[in-house]
Structure 1
Amino acid sequence: MNDAILTEQQVAQFCLDLPGAREDYKWGGVRVFSIAGSKMFALQNLRGSSLAFKVDQELFLGHVDRPGIAPAPYLARAHWIIMQTPYPLGAEELRALLQRSHQLVVGKLPKRAQVGLLL
């Protein structure tokens, strides 16, 4: 394994610390991290057993080829991946991917809505 592994709570706190992020609970047990009202960038099973988020389209196949990472059900067509706990990525890489997911979603917002959300 690479560097330290993040806990489910550390992942949740990192997501909430990103600009404009908020959380909701949906679908009978999914913690949804979103921006601009309803634009999701990460999903965490309430039991902490899985984490899903968006990745760059051109890197999607490379990610799902890695052990412990799979296409996210229902969201793979939008280039989302899913992993179970313990997360197969080190803390630094996982934070970078979550931040990138956030920025991919911000980039799809109207320009006026992006103010204050870009990193």
Structure 2
Amino acid sequence: MDIDSFRELCLSFPHATEKLQWEEELCFKVGAKIFAMIALGAVPQAVVFKCNPESFAELTEREGITPAPYVGRYKWVRLERLDVIPAFELQHLVRQSYEMVATKAAVGRKPVRKQSMKRRRRA
């Protein structure tokens, strides 16, 4: 998988956006929460994403995959390069990351109350 394919994958998820942060990190978000990042300034490009605890334990035993700096304790991994694992596996793991983060992003949002909607219509 190359950087363009990775970007296309991340942006294919519902409500996914991208934002350049920290000068060279292309962050993929759902709502305000990041689900994946790729380092644009590094060669080769390192990839970071969230995992479930089981995947985290298994992945960090592999060569080229480490706990992500600063967020590894929250089960985020860092792949040294996009080709450390097969493309189909990376797609699956990034989808899982998106789903975990999207669920938390949805829980954090407060629903609009019907009563407040009625007040807005009258005004």
Scaled to the shorter chain, the TM-score interval is 0.7 to 0.9
**Counterpart of 1:44 in 2: which secondary structure?**
strand
Residue in structure 1 matched with residue 91 of structure 2 by the alignment: 95
Long gaps (5+) in structure 2 = 110-123
Residue in structure 1 matched with residue 36 of structure 2 by the alignment: 42
Residue in structure 1 matched with residue 61 of structure 2 by the alignment: 65
Give the one of 83, 93, 106 matched to 2:102: 106
State the TM-score, normalized to the length of structure 2: 0.80
With over 3 angstroms needed to count, the CA separation of the structure-2 counterparts of 1:110 and 1:10, relative to structure 1, is closer
- How far off is 1:111 after superposition? 4.8
Residues 1:30 and 2:42 aligned together: no
- How far off is 1:90 after superposition? 0.7
Greater Cα radius of gyration, structure 1 or 2 = 2
Q: Whole-Å Cα distance in 1 between the matches of residues 71 and 7 of structure 2?
A: 20
Q: Whole-Å Cα distance in 2 between the matches of residues 93 and 110 of structure 1?
A: 26
**Counterpart of 1:109 in 2: which secondary structure?**
helix
Q: Which has the higher contact order (CA 8 A, sep 6+)?
A: 1
Long gaps (5+) in structure 1 = 1-5, 114-119
Q: Whole-Å Cα distance in 2 between the matches of residues 29 and 83 of structure 1?
A: 16
| Bigger share in helix | 2
Residue in structure 2 matched with residue 54 of structure 1 by the alignment: 50
State the TM-score, normalized to the length of structure 1: 0.83
Q: How many residues align?
A: 107
1:72 maps to a residue whose letter is: A
Q: Whole-Å Cα distance in 1 between the matches of residues 90 and 107 of structure 2?
A: 27
